[in-house]
Structure 1
C-alpha cells in the first residue's frame, strides 16, 4: 500500500458515491487493510481531503509557453473537465487550509501566466478571482442539470418536455429561447462555457491596463 493508492482509492469512492462516502474505514476495506494502517500515509480525514483536492489540481493543464489568452483558455477548459469528472471537488477546491504541492504549483502557474502578460499583481488577483468564479459557477450549474449538458438528444428531450407543459402566450420569451435556440440542431448547453469564457477574457483584456 502506498500514499498514491490511498488517494486513488479515495477519489474512486468519491466519484462513484460522493464525498460523504469517503471514510478511513471504507478506503481501508477497498485496499484490504486495517484502517489504522492508513495513518502512515495521511494524518486524518482532513488529510485525505487535502490530497484528494491536490489530485484534482494535478489533472488541470496550465500551458506556460503560449499567449496568455490561449493559456488561460486551456486552463479553464481543462479545469472544467476535471471538475465534471470529479463533481465532489467543486466545494473543496479553495477550502483547504493545508494545500498540497500540486495545488500551490497550479496557483503559482496561473498567476505567472497573468504576470507575464503584463497584469499587475493586483490585476492578476482580480483576474484570478473572476476566472474561478465563472468556472465554479458554470460547473455547479452544469453538474446539477437533469441531463448531460454535452448530450444534444438528452438536452432536446428535457427541453421538449418542459415546452409541452407551458402556454407560449404566458411565457413568450422562454418559448422563443427554447424553440429558436435550444431545440435547434446542434445545440449543446456545454458550448455555452466557451462562449462565456471569451466574454470573460475580453473583459480581462480591456481592464488589464486600467488595473495597472
Structure 2
C-alpha cells in the first residue's frame, strides 16, 4: 500500500480512483476531499489535474466513454449490419451494468466527448454500407437515443413521481396505473430499464429500420 501511495499522481490515476469510488460507494461519494484521502494526498493537490468538481465529473464521463468504446471495438465491425449494431450496443450495456452510476453522469454533462461523436459516426457508416440513406440514418439515431451507449432514457423516474399518489389519480390515468402495477419488476439501469426491455426495444428498432431500408 505504501508503495502504491508513492506512485506519481496524474490525471489518469485520479480518474481511475474516482471510478473505483463511484463503483463502490456511488457517484455522490466522488469528491475532491474523498479522492485526496483515497490517494493519500491533500485535496488541493488534485486541482493541478482537475480544476474542480465539474472537471472531475467530465473526466469520469470521459473515462467511462473510453471503456465503452473499447468494449464496442472488441465487439467487432464485420457481418450483417443488424448483428454488428446489436453486438456493439449490448457490449456498451455490459459496461453500464458494471458502472450503474454511468447513465446519470452522462446525462448530467453539458459537453459531448469527441469519442461519442466518433462512435455515432461509425454507426452511420455501418448503416450507409448496408444501403441506408442519410435521411433514414438520421432518423435511426433519433430512435436509438442513448441505446448505443447501453441504456435508455426514462420517461418517468422515481424522483419524478415521488410526490404523486398514483392511487389518487387512478381514475384519470387508469391504463398507466394498470401498466405500472402489472409491469413492476427489478430494473437493471434506471427506473424501468431491464435487459429484457432493452433487447426488445433494440430488436424492434433494428427490424423496423430494415423494413424502412
Asked if TM exceeds 0.5, the reply is yes
Aligned equivalent of 1:204, options 200, 209, 212? 209
SS at match of 1:136: coil
Residue 44 (structure 2) pairs with residue 29 (structure 1): no
| Deviations, residues 90-134 of structure 1 (Å, cap 9, x unaligned) | 123254333334333323322332333333334223212322355
Q: How does 1:99-110 map to 2 (within 5 A)?
A: 99-110=112-123
SS at match of 1:92: helix
Deviation at 1:4, TM superposition (A): 1.1
Q: What is the root-mean-square deviation of aligned Cα atoms in Å? A: 2.9
Aligned equivalent of 1:70, options 80, 83, 86? 83
Q: How does 1:156-171 map to 2 (within 5 A)?
A: none
Match of 2:13 in 1: 5
Aligned equivalents of 1:58 and 1:30: distance in 2?
23
Q: How does 1:1-212 map to 2 (within 5 A)?
A: 1-60=9-68, 61-62=72-73, 63-132=76-145, 135-137=150-152, 190-208=195-213
| Contact 2:151-2:198 at 8 Å conserved across structures | no
Aligned equivalents of 1:95 and 1:108: distance in 2?
22
| Contact 2:152-2:198 at 8 Å conserved across structures | no
Deviation at 1:5, TM superposition (A): 0.8
Gaps of 5+ in 2: 1-8, 159-177, 184-193
98 and 72 in structure 1: CA distance in 2 versus 1, 3 angstrom threshold: same
Aligned equivalents of 2:45 and 2:109: distance in 1?
24
Aligned equivalents of 2:124 and 2:105: distance in 1?
20
Aligned equivalents of 1:104 and 1:38: distance in 2?
29
| Contact 1:54-1:101 at 8 Å conserved across structures | no
133 and 98 in structure 1: CA distance in 2 versus 1, 3 angstrom threshold: closer
SS at match of 1:87: coil
Deviation at 1:201, TM superposition (A): 0.7
